[in-house]
C-alpha cells in the first residue's frame, strides 16, 4: 500500500508539473500577443528568463519531493512560489533555494532527539502546502509586487538610485532570512544547546521545545541561518546585476550582514510571539511538549491565540517590513 501511495503521489506531481509548464508557456505567449508585443524593444521578460523560471523550480521541487522534504500539496504550491521569485529576481530564487536546502537539513539533524521532546514532531520534516504558504507567502507576495512595479530586473541593492526595487528586495530578504533563522534556531538550538532554554519574556528556565524558549546557541544559529540567506542574495546580485548598476551601487557585501540581522531579528520576533500568543504545555503522561491546552497538560507559557504556522507567517511579515530600514541604516 505504501508503494502504491508513493507512486500515486509521484504521478500526481508529474501531472501537476506538466500542467504548470504548459500553462506557463501559454501565459508567456498570451502576454506577448496581447500586452507587451514580440519586439525586443517592448520585451520586459525574455523567453530565456521565462523558461528558466519555469523549468528550474520544477527540477528543484521534484528533487525535494523525491527526498520527502515536500509533500505533494507542498510541492505544487512551491512551484508557483518558485516561479514568481525566479521571474522577479534571480537573488530571490537563490534565497528560497538556500532556505529550502539548509532548513531541510537542519530539520532532519538529530531528529530522533526531537521526536522524544515534541508531540507533533514529523519525521523528515516534510512540508505541506500550509507550511509552504506560511514560510513563503510573504516573499511570494513581495515578488509579485516587484514584478508589477519594477518588472523582471536583477538590480543591486541601491536605495539612492533604485529605492522601490531595493525596498522590495530587502523585504524579500527579510521574509526568507526570518524563516531560515527561526528554523535553524529551533531545529539546531534544541539539540546542540547543553542547558535548558529560558523563556524570552520572563527569562525563566523552561523545558526544551517550549515555544518562546531561547538559548545562546539557538540565537547564534539564527544569525548564521540569516547569513546564509544573505550570501545567497549577494551571489545572485553578483551573477545577474549589470556592471553599470554595480559601479554606482554601495558595497553589496553589506547584504550578507543585513541577512544575518534578519535571521536573528526574525527569530527573536518569532520567540516573542510564541511565548505570549502560542500555548506551550507539558503532557503529564508522556513528558512531551504540546501546543493544545487539555486535561492532563501542565501549562508552561502562552495563550492559545496563534498556532506555529501563524507565528511563522506573522514574524516573517514583521521582519520583511523592518529589514529595509535596517538596510538603509547600514549604508545600502
> How does pLDDT run across 211-266, given as a tens digit for each residue?
888 889 999 999 999 999 999 999 999 999 888 999 999 999 999 999 999 999 99
Contact 187, 106 (CB under 8 A): yes
Cell numbers at 200, concatenated: 524570552
DSSP string, 184-217: HHHHHHHHH-SSPPEETTT--B--TT-TTEE-HH
Contact 279, 310 (CB under 8 A): no
Instruction: Please give the backbone phi and psi of residue 282, each rounded to the nearest 5 degrees, phi first.
Output: -115, 125
Range 65-75 average pLDDT: 83
Contact 265, 330 (CB under 8 A): no
pTM, two decimals, is 0.86
In this structure, the number of other CB atoms found within 10 A of the CB of residue 245 comes to: 17
pLDDT value of position 306: 84
Of residues 281 and 117, the one with the higher pLDDT is: 281
pLDDT value of position 46: 77
> How does pLDDT run across 288-319, given as a tens digit for each residue?
888 888 888 878 887 888 888 889 999 999 99
> How does pLDDT run across 94-108, given as a tens digit for each residue?
999 999 899 888 887
pLDDT value of position 1: 54
Report for 42-56, 147-161, 292-306: range of highest mean pLDDT: 147-161
Amino acid at each position: 500500500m505504501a508503494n502504491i501511495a508513493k507512486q500515486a503521489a509521484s504521478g500526481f506531481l508529474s501531472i501537476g508539473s506538466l500542467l504548470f509548464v504548459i500553462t506557463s508557456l501559454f501565459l508567456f505567449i498570451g502576454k506577448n500577443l496581447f500586452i507587451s508585443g514580440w519586439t525586443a524593444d517592448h520585451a520586459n521578460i525574455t523567453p530565456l528568463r521565462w523558461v528558466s523560471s519555469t523549468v528550474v523550480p520544477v527540477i528543484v521541487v521534484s528533487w525535494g519531493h523525491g527526498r520527502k522534504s515536500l509533500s505533494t500539496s507542498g510541492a505544487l504550491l512551491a512551484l508557483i512560489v518558485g516561479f514568481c521569485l525566479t521571474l522577479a529576481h534571480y537573488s530571490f530564487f537563490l534565497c528560497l533555494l538556500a532556505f529550502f536546502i539548509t532548513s531541510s537539513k537542519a530539520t532532519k539533524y538529530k531528529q530522533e532527539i526531537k521526536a522524544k521532546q515534541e508531540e507533533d514532531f514529523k519525521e523528515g520534516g516534510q512540508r505541506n502546502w500550509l507550511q509552504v504558504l506560511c514560510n513563503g507567502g510573504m516573499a511570494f507576495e513581495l515578488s509579485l509586487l516587484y514584478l508589477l512595479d519594477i518588472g523582471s530586473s536583477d538590480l543591486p541593492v541601491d536605495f539612492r538610485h533604485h529605492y522601490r526595487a531595493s525596498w522590495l528586495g530587502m523585504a524579500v530578504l527579510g521574509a526568507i532570512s526570518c524563516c531560515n533563522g527561526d528554523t535553524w534556531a529551533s531545529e539546531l538550538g534544541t539539540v546542540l544547546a547543553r542547558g535548558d532554554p529560558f523563556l524570552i519574556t520572563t527569562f525563566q528556565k523552561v523545558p526544551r521545545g517550549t515555544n518562546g524558549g531561547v538559548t545562546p546557541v539557538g540565537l547564534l544559529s539564527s544569525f548564521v541561518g540569516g547569513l546564509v540567506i544573505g550570501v545567497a542574495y549577494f551571489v545572485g546580485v553578483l551573477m545577474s546585476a549589470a556592471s553599470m548598476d554595480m559601479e554606482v551601487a554601495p558595497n553589496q557585501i553589506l547584504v550578507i550582514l543585513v541577512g544575518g540581522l534578519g535571521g536573528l531579528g526574525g527569530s527573536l520576533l518569532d520567540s516573542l510571539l510564541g511565548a505570549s500568543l502560542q500555548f506551550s504545555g507539558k503532557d503529564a503522561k508522556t513528558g512531551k511538549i504540546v501546543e493544545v491546552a487539555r486535561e492532563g497538560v501542565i501549562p508552561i507559557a502562552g495563550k492559545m491565540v496563534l498556532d506555529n504556522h501563524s507565528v511563522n507567517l506573522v514574524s516573517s511579515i514583521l521582519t520583511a517590513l523592518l529589514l529595509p530600514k535596517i538596510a538603509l541604516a547600514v549604508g545600502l
